[in-house]
Amino acid sequence: MALCLKQVFNKDKTFRPRKKFEPGTQRFELYKKAQASLKSGLDLKAVVQLPPGESINDWIAVHVVDFFNRINLIYGTMSEYCTERSCPIMSGGLKYEYRWQDDSKYKKPTKLSAPQYMCMLMDWIEMLINNEDIFPTRIGVPFPKQFQQVCTKILTRLFRVFVHVYIHHFDSIINMGAEAHVNTCYKHFYYFIREFSLIDHRELEPLKEMTERICH
């Protein structure tokens, strides 16, 4: 029998501190609205749609942060099974390998182990979502012109966490009774990025067959 979410995903195993929305802000109200829709049992395709009268950038910002927290929690729970020895390459099976590149330490695509890649990825996302110039939280401060482009890059890299976890650690997911919860998180993520065309369809290829099976 599947365990409840709190049993499956131990908060102590969160890979990074959770990014929270400040109570009283518009972003916090949007977050509450999104969470209420999720808990109401509505169709996930409907849940991800932009609420009438809301800003698309605010809606995307709320979901990017929420997906970061959720995927962070999933990987934190799986991380004991994802080691330098078991996963010396950040990959999605034999066909897909992901190399790390950023604007500081790794200026060229660099081969890393999966745990190293995950560390670099979570640090990089945390830096971006805490940057007020990219994810402004003050009322009246506009989003930068490249905001959606940055979000596309974040979500594309977060998708690679799903690829690695599903392809290399699915047995562990099943053994923990977490399959239904991980699938729901994936479906929510997938419907959101499709609703707003936020990830190139070629990036979705590694999980294409599974996606067609669970995302109707």
The model's pTM is 0.85
Tell the residue number behind the tokens 């942060």, with chain if given: 65
CA distances from 116 to 79, 86, 90, 111, 160 (A): 11, 13, 8, 10, 14
pLDDT confidence bin for 109, thresholds 50/70/90:
very high
Binding region for Zn(2+): 82, 87, 164, 169
pLDDT confidence bin for 14, thresholds 50/70/90:
very low
Amino acid, single-letter form, for residue 198: L
Binding region: 82, 87, 164, 169
Q: The dihedral of CA 125, 127, 132, 138: what is its sign? A: positive
Nearest to 157, CA basis, from 57, 67, 31, 47: 67
Nearest to 59, CA basis, from 138, 162, 151: 151
Per-residue pLDDT tens digits for 29-86: 565 655 654 555 668 898 899 999 989 999 999 999 999 999 998 999 889 999 999 9
The predicted pLDDT at position 78 comes to 86
Domains of the chain, start order? 25-33+44-215 (1.20.140.30)
pLDDT confidence bin for 25, thresholds 50/70/90:
low
pLDDT at 168 over 90: yes
